[in-house]
Amino acid sequence: MNSYVSSSESGSFERDMDYLPDRITRGGRRPSDGPVVGEPWPVEPGRYCLVAAPACPWASRSLVVRKLLGLEDVLPLATPGPVHDERSWNFDEQPGGIDPVLGIHRLQEAYLARDPAYDKGITVPAMVDIPSGKVVTNDFPWITHDLFFEWSEHHRSDAPDLWPDHLRDEMEEVMERVFTDVNNGVYSCGFAGSQEAYEEAYDTLWSAMDWLEERLTTRRYLMGDEITEADVRLFTTLVRFDAVYHSHFKCNRSKLVELPALWGYARDLFQQPAFGETVDFEQIKRHYYVVQDDLNPTGIVPTGPDLKGWWTPHHRDQLAKDLTDRTNVRRAG
């Protein structure tokens, strides 16, 4: 399951954020921030498997961060297919229907190995302890946070600083709005249970999209000249926008390709390997249009949109140069 979702009495969408909050930390130390249940798990190359379906935007965050930081050789990957039933994500598309790293058919097996009575969402991404076969955590915001802070000894030498200290407070504010109004906002539109709830969610989403369009008109990335975790989080929604959210979730005021700054920004990120190489548009479309049969009862998967535009020049690198030139002029004056 992607996540448990529900609608309130007013028809507004509510996401269940009750995840397994264990943490994988350097030396198995107890973290000073965020959640931990029981004893934390120690970072060990090759011990854990990241289970992340390319179809899922929350899982896609971890795929991008794993590749940005160069963790491919120390953190094995299991990729469930895009279509699942009410029980679990599965590995039907792997040879024999079994994941070669974990040796399981359904991700549910790893959750039940941890707790035979587990009855919450079988979600991705998930970190699984390979020796025991037990899921460690599916708390997606903390998975990418810890891949940066706790796995730093295993990063590639030129890995980006995804959490710059001097931008941390502002970045947290930006990420909070991106999550609430955009990442989750498209779901609030798609799964609204009343016209009033839908229209409120729609207005909130597009207010945030207009804010982002303005912000990205004068800066290359959300926080300036360098990619941060904030960009990873926004990208996974933008890359799905025209293919899914515009029509399937009724977020149809504008297409991404009609928003100059956001469209250029999305292409800029997509054309960088850590982003574009983790995107599978066919899996994305199959997941939403087949699994969410309450929104698409025919199960028909759209053929479009035309994807050629993703590879067109974006010229976003010029924004960083222009900003540097303006800064130098001000200092000289």
Q: Classify each residue of 3-12 as buried b or exposed e, where b means 16 or more C-beta atoms within 10 Å of its C-beta.
A: beeeeeeebb
Beta carbons of 130 and 102 less than 8 angstroms apart: yes
The Cα–Cα gap between 261 and 177 comes to 18
Single out the residue of 36, 16, 41 nearest to residue 142, CA to CA: 36
Beta carbons of 34 and 142 less than 8 angstroms apart: yes
The Cα–Cα gap between 147 and 154 comes to 10
Considering 19, 48, 49, 56, which one is annotated as catalytic?
Answer: 56
Beta carbons of 131 and 198 less than 8 angstroms apart: no
56 among known catalytic residues:
yes
Distances from the Cα of 193 to the Cαs of 10, 187, 295, 318, in angstroms?
Answer: 8, 11, 12, 44
Beta carbons of 24 and 43 less than 8 angstroms apart: yes
Single out the residue of 59, 45, 54 nearest to residue 83, CA to CA: 54
Distances from the Cα of 316 to the Cαs of 149, 208, 267, 313, 320, in angstroms?
Answer: 28, 21, 9, 9, 8
Is 308 in a helix, a strand, or coil?
A: helix
Beta carbons of 302 and 285 less than 8 angstroms apart: yes
Q: Token pair for residue 294?
A: 């309450």
Considering 19, 48, 111, 187, which one is annotated as catalytic?
Answer: 187
For residue 24, the surrounding DSSP H or E stretch is: strand 24-25
The residues that are catalytic are 56, 187
